Structure 1
Amino acid sequence: MPACQLDHITITTPALPEANSWVRRVLGVGAAPGGKHPAMGTENMLLRLGDATFLEIIAVDPYAPAPARPRWFALDTIGVESLASLATWVARTSDIAAAAAAAEPIAAPGAITPMARGERNWLITIPDDGSLPLGGVAPALIEWEPGPHPAAGMPDHGLSLVKLELCHPDARRVQALLDAIGMQGPVSAVRISERMQPFLRAHIGTPAGVRILG
């Protein structure tokens, strides 16, 4: 069985500054510039949530050419008037092929795709249409190149990811997915009404107490 751990949570937004203002209001500290993803035409900001966990804010890079394929994290569906949203999360593994195969029958994670930002390289699963599996409740799978985790080089503001709740009408399916990929760490499936859309709720420890993003 593969083994996965919570790597990072992802906020999507039409513009990085507005989303970062929201993060600052909730957590008391904002994210720092990350970099650009030439293959996707996107850019991000990053905030450490632990030794090997972080928060990512990601948006379309307005100065980059559009990629030849749909952008990841459903960014092509976000309008200029859209609000920032805790849209999905990413699970880390040392064997992305095994984890993707285990997830496939429950919630297909997408093709394993090489990706780069600056000097850092990794493999990540991306659906061909750029969508978010299970409405964002199913994670993208990531396998980093060998070396220190990206969070290790980020400023430490005393934040930690206490718990991530995956809220979905079919919580059994979500739990089956977590079991299939060998998910370890503070991630739980929460059942919500059939009338509700899936969403995430992140409980983040700060020096002023636990705050909730979602």
Structure 2
Amino acid sequence: MDALKPIPAELDHLIVTVPELDAGVAEIEAATGVRAVPGGRHPGRGTANFLLGLTPRGWPAGAHTYLEILGPDPEQAAPADGTLPLDAHLSEGLTLQTWAIHPPAFLAKIAAANTAGIDFGEVRDMSRETAEGELLEWRLTSKSPLPLSGVQPFLIDWGESTHPAEAALPALELLEFSIETANPEALRGVLGELGAGDADVVTGPENRLHARLRGPGGTVEF
């Protein structure tokens, strides 16, 4: 019997950071047989991204999320302090840096997190143009360095914008997603307050994320 744990129901997307976008996209393509497509640039933030759709194991047919490959934008100058969003400046290779969830009641979850004393940083308004020229606008929680080294997800609300996973993205199957931490009970409490209490949390020596993705050409693990 397959004992793999289900993927969190409120998962919005996974973020893999890379030091060089083209090389990172090529490495994932070589492992899976699927090439990511340009997502867009983050003006003034020094980054751009490529996207792949994800079909999570165990989710209802038609449900989906996505993988964001994030790295320095060669057509933008880096911020003056050298800090890139989601600590992408620290990446030395393909790194499953953090993850995002989209709870149905964004503001209520923010209020609950504040009451519980969860350090999520601040709520920021963000935007980018897609490769097709469509403007996407959203808001999210943001903190640098990442809370709990990235295993604590950030919250995102897409508002009236089209969710990136609704585009016709080339896709991989998301087979597994889990979180390692030295204090699983504490992390489960935080995830429960944020709306991701169904995430698979296991004991490990450090805070880190694990995911296994499959394409027609093979699998890739982070």
What TM-score comes out, normalization by structure 1 length?
0.82
Q: In the alignment, residue 136 of structure 1 is paired with which amino acid?
A: G
Of 60-69 and 20-29, the range deviating more from structure 2: 60-69
Give, in angstroms, the shift of residue 180 of structure 1.
1.1
1:23 aligns with 2:23: no
Give, in angstroms, the shift of residue 212 of structure 1.
4.6
Q: Provide the residue aligned with 1:200 in structure 2.
A: 209
1:160–1:204: 8 Å Cα contact kept in structure 2? Answer: yes
1:139 aligns with 2:153: yes
1:87 aligns with 2:100: no
Q: Provide the residue aligned with 1:149 in structure 2.
A: 163
The alignment yields a C-alpha RMSD, in angstroms, of 2.5
1:107–1:134: 8 Å Cα contact kept in structure 2? Answer: no
Identify the match of residue 74 of structure 1 among 84, 87, 103. Answer: 87
1:88-127 maps to which residues of 2 (within 5 A)?
A: 88-104=98-114, 105=116, 107-118=118-129, 119-127=135-143
1:68-114: CA deviation from partner (whole Å, max 9, x where unpaired):
67432112334xxx222111111112333322333344641211100
Count of aligned residue pairs for this structure pair: 201
Q: Provide the residue aligned with 2:203 in structure 1.
A: 191
Task: Tell me the percent identity.
Answer: 31
For structure 1, the residue ranges without an aligned partner over 5 or more in a row are: none
Structure 1 runs of 4+ with >4 Å offset? none
1:142-195: CA deviation from partner (whole Å, max 9, x where unpaired):
0002254211113344x232331011111112211221122276x3111113xx
For structure 2, the residue ranges without an aligned partner over 5 or more in a row are: 1-7, 56-62, 130-134
1:34-93: CA deviation from partner (whole Å, max 9, x where unpaired):
110014121000000034400011012133134467432112334xxx222111111112
1:11–1:56: 8 Å Cα contact kept in structure 2? Answer: yes
1:47–1:154: 8 Å Cα contact kept in structure 2? Answer: no
Secondary structure in structure 1 of the residue aligned to 2:108: helix
1: CA distance between counterparts of 2:149 and 2:173? 25
